[in-house]
Amino acid sequence: MRLFLLCMLVACTKENDPTDTGTSDFEPTGGDYEILSSISADNCGSWGANFNDSIDGFSLKITFPDADTARFHWANVQDCPRQGSQVECSTDEALVLDDYAPDSDARIMYEDLTTLNWDTQSSASGTWTVFLSCEGTQCDLISTINDETYPCEIEMDWNLALKE
């Protein structure tokens, strides 16, 4: 009988209460988020600093049209799968970042992966990883001119706060 009562007591503590799901039991708030970023890994030379400089302090509108979706309002709106307060989003295909036509047939392409976790209804943290590549016969020339090597990867730590 004591063992049964002990098991009941343990099962009813706050940590084991199935109705208490902790901080993941909130709905993130949609709106304009300011991004504070810092580079955590960069093997792309000057690209890393350029990407970080263009993102740090940038505002990104994020909305939540339903329980399974986070919508990033980039230049091209992107719907991302969401599980509670966690979002992992990636490009479906490589996109053109720089096209050197007509002077060159080289095109710098990028893909990205964004992983965010909302700590509160109005703040999130995570990483943004950008994968750069080059297509065309003159990629070596462009790589030399820009002092870069392709393919390469940049990873930034992100902290997002809802703008008031």
Structural domain includes residue 21: no
Q: How large is the average pLDDT for residues 67-79?
A: 92
Does this model's pTM top 0.75? My answer is yes
Structural domain includes residue 115: yes
Q: How large is the average pLDDT for residues 130-145?
A: 92
Structural domain includes residue 131: yes
22 vs 124, more confident: 124
Looking at residue 150, its amino acid is Y
Domain that holds residue 152: 29-160
Tally of domains in the chain: 1
Q: How large is the average pLDDT for residues 16-26?
A: 49
Q: Given the structure tokens 């990483």, which residue do they identify?
A: 127
Structural domain includes residue 110: yes
The sign of the CA dihedral 75, 140, 38, 110 is positive
Q: Name all contacts of 46-51 with Cβ < 8 Å and 24+ positions apart.
A: 46/146, 46/147, 46/148, 47/132, 47/148, 47/152, 47/154, 48/154, 51/130, 51/154, 51/156
Q: What is the pLDDT of residue 18?
A: 42
Structural domain includes residue 83: yes
Q: What is the pLDDT of residue 8?
A: 31
Q: How large is the average pLDDT for residues 54-60?
A: 86
